[in-house]
């Protein structure tokens, strides 16, 4: 049975006991509103580890003024049942006061011209500082052996992996494939913001990325040509507003002119109230 835990002290107690039993601890940090993508991370953690912790915390530090912090979906009873079906041992769901008590003053940043400044960082300038701060706290609370992230949030994964390396955190970060709906749309808790027509239109993002993959697989190496084709496909979607279409080095996120070696094709598009991100590695 999955246990709901709301305090840092309690989580640490569970982890201490598991360590005494020689169990490896797997960790899946989330903001809740689970979908099959989250469940796939839990399933992998369960497969790899003797104990599994899933956190649910809608982190105020990673939302800017005017973003969707207040309306972000919160579905704890439903999420608990889903975590239980994946045999998670603990769901850690702290309050904001538990994570950021009065006087909290420490934030985690990376080089201002580094990974957080690329892609989504141009449109959400303080977002990744909020992400790094909360994940650093969660890693210190849980002390996991393995932590699992989805490829849809590829930039976030690179930033967290860099942070864990730079700060000598004894945790291995694992990247798992993006889980998609039957029509190709990347699963996201924010898909709930899409109306029926917008939901159908949103499949254009995956169509555009599939087209990019086909072009690269057929020998096209000009990043500008591939970006032009992605833009053409997305421009057919009525009401779609492009934040960015980028073709970048998969390790540094620096733009490339020529596609060679491991390359990330990434985009962020706004449809209605939803800001959707997706990517493929080519």
**Residue 79 near residue 32, CB atoms below 8 Å:** yes
C-alpha–C-alpha distance, residues 255 and 111, integer Å: 18
C-alpha–C-alpha distance, residues 123 and 157, integer Å: 18
Q: Is residue 206 annotated as a catalytic residue, yes or no?
A: no
Taking Cα atoms as reference points, which of 53, 65, 142, 137 lies closest to residue 100? 137
Instruction: State the catalytic residue, choosing from 35, 38, 107, 127.
Output: 38
**Residue 275 near residue 190, CB atoms below 8 Å:** yes
Taking Cα atoms as reference points, which of 91, 71, 73, 72 lies closest to residue 81? 91
- Alpha-carbon 46 to chain mean position: 19
Which residues are catalytically annotated?
A: 38
């Amino acid at each position: 049975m999955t246990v709901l835990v709301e305090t840092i002290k309690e989580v640490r107690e569970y982890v201490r006991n598991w360590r005494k039993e020689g169990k490896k601890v797997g960790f899946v940090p989330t903001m809740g509103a689970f979908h099959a993508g989250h469940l796939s991370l839990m399933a992998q953690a369960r497969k790899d580890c003797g104990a599994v912790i899933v956190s649910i915390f809608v982190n105020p530090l990673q939302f800017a003024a005017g973003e969707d912090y207040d309306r972000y979906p919160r579905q704890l009873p439903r999420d608990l049942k889903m975590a239980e079906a994946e045999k998670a041992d603990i769901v850690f769901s702290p309050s904001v006061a538990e994570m950021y008590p009065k006087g909290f003053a420490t934030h985690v940043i990376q080089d201002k011209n580094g990974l957080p400044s690329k892609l989504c960082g141009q449109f959400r300038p303080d977002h990744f500082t909020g992400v790094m701060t909360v994940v650093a706290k969660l890693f210190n609370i849980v002390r996991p052996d393995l932590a699992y992230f989805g490829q849809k949030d590829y930039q976030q994964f690179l930033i967290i992996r860099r942070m864990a390396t730079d700060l000598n955190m004894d945790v291995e970060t694992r990247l798992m494939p993006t889980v998609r709906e039957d029509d190709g749309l990347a699963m996201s808790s924010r898909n709930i913001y899409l109306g029926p027509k917008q939901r159908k239109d949103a499949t254009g993002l995956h169509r555009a990325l599939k087209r990019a993959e086909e072009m690269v697989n057929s020998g096209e190496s000009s990043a500008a040509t591939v970006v032009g084709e992605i833009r053409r496909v997305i421009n057919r979607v009525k009401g779609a507003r492009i934040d960015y279409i980028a073709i970048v080095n998969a390790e540094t996120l620096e733009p490339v002119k020529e596609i060679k070696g491991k390359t990330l094709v990434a985009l962020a598009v706004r449809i209605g109230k939803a800001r959707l991100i997706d990517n493929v590695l080519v």
